Amino acid sequence: MYWKVFIILLLASGMQTGYAQKFSFTGTDTAMHHGRGNVHFLTTLEHYLSEENDKPISITQLNTEVSGYILDKLSIGGSLSLSIPRGNRYIIFEEFESNTIGLGVTGFARYELLNFHHHNFYLETGYGMLFTAAPFPYGGTHWNFTVRYGMGYNVRLNSGQYLLFGWRWMHISNGTGFVPTNPAYDGNGIYVGFKFVKNRR
């Protein structure tokens, strides 16, 4: 469901500003600060819904990240997140609470696929760890590996400030074979965020 919401927002934003934009598949626009020498600080609010019927769990996440460019359209960075899962896991008609709170760290890469004059469309992927106060999901462990990928839309508000929104898929797992049980979590989410760019040149 969330990816459909993202597509609708993307189309609406593109229709609103598209008539005045410069479109290119290659090259960069210095007004967008997507080149080497710039440091990006981003905060996002995210919400995920589970894909699995036996784990109707939602996760609200506050994410803060720092990134920089290694190529003109490719950036890498790290993030720190506060996660709040809410919901239950069902095992043979029994219901077990999976409410908890956790901290996570993620390393990620982001590639700007399409560049416009004051906005762009990007793809991303990331890998990290999540540590929760209670085993998550129920029957799991306090620590889990995380994998995410997604796409997003970045709109320039003014010099050095941006609004972002997008869709992400997230997998949470403690690693099959490392522990006796691995009740993994898969979810789709949407996010909105604000980015500040500092030019180090």
What mean pLDDT is predicted for residues 60-84?
Answer: 95
- Residue 137: phi and psi, rounded to 5, are -60, 180
Mean pLDDT, rounded, for 153-179: 89
The three-state secondary structure class of 194 is strand
Question: The pTM is what?
Answer: 0.82
Tokens of 138: 């129920």
CATH code matching the domain that covers 2-199, chosen among 2.40.160.20, 3.30.70.270, 3.30.1280.10, 1.20.1270.10: 2.40.160.20
CA distance 129 to 174: 9
The pLDDT value given to residue 200: 58
Strands 74-91, 57-69: parallel, antiparallel or unpaired by DSSP? antiparallel
CB 152 within 8 A of CB 162: no
Beta bridge partners of 51: none
pLDDT score of 31 more than 60: no
Percent of the chain clearing pLDDT 90 (strictly above): 59
Burial class (CB in 10 A: 0-12, 13-18, 19+), 85: buried
86 - beta bridge partners? 58
pLDDT of 23 reads 43
Please report, rounded to a whole number, the percentage of residues in the chain having pLDDT higher than 70. 80
